[in-house]
């Protein structure tokens, strides 16, 4: 067998971007999506079925939506691939979860740990000893300093900065360009410089 097959769950803009990354390493099988029928469209979400020769990626940027879709598909026992650009640098052992996507230009240094279905989008940087919980999305150009812990289903917006040693809870949203200078509790949105709760 030459390249393994990969199916993408989600056919929006991020899904199309991830397709271009996936095609460097996999034979692209197609998209599953309820709302968009981007070619090659394989069917709605619940049409996804496990197969011995195909792995999947949740190509969804919104962490809460990503978590909901993973929950709907949990009983199907799907095989999820980790997709890491050859134009990125990720510390050994960081990819502890399944379904992780690391896009071009990402740098993640030593002793990082990433959970299931984490997205590190274009040119994001992740410092030493960072923990990213399941379903987190780190958007383009965001910078996470060392020893930061991020709870599950948190979104760090484009160009945001999280300073060293902080803890961000679960279901947090960090606005684009925000500078986070103190811990952020669960279920909170922060914006601005310095970042403040909305």
- Catalytic amino acids? 128
- Furthest C-alpha separation in the chain: 52
Q: 45: helix, coil or strand? A: helix
Residue 58, beta-bridge partner list: 9
Alpha-carbon distances of 46 from 74, 88, 147, rounded to whole Å: 11, 33, 38
Are 45 and 32 within 8 A, CB to CB? yes
What lies within 8 Å, CB to CB, of 173 at 6+ separation is 154, 155, 157, 188, 189, 190
Rounded Cα distance between 7 and 57, Å, is: 7
Give the number of other CB atoms < 10 A from CB of residue 31: 23
Burial of 182 (0-12, 13-18, 19+ CB in 10 A): exposed
Backbone angles phi, psi at 51, to 5 degrees: -145, 145
């Amino acid at each position: 067998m030459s390249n393994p097959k990969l199916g993408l769950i989600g056919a929006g803009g991020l899904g199309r971007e991830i397709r271009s990354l996936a095609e460097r390493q996999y034979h692209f099988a197609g998209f599953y999506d309820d709302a968009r029928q981007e070619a090659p469209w394989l069917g709605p979400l619940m049409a996804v079925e496990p197969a011995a020769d195909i792995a999947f990626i949740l190509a969804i940027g919104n962490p809460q939506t990503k978590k909901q879709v993973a929950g709907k598909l949990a009983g199907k026992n799907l095989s999820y691939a980790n997709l890491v650009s050859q134009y990125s640098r990720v510390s050994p052992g960081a990819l502890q979860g399944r379904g992780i996507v690391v896009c071009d230009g990402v740098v993640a240094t030593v002793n990082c740990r990433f959970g299931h279905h984490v997205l590190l989008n274009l040119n994001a940087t992740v410092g030493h000893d960072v923990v990213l919980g399941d379903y987190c999305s780190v958007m383009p150009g965001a910078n996470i300093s060392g020893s930061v812990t991020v709870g599950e289903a948190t979104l760090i917006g484009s160009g945001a900065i999280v300073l060293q040693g902080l803890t961000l809870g679960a279901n947090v949203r960090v606005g684009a360009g925000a500078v986070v200078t103190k811990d952020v509790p669960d279920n909170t949105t922060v914006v601005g410089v310095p970042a403040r709760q909305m």
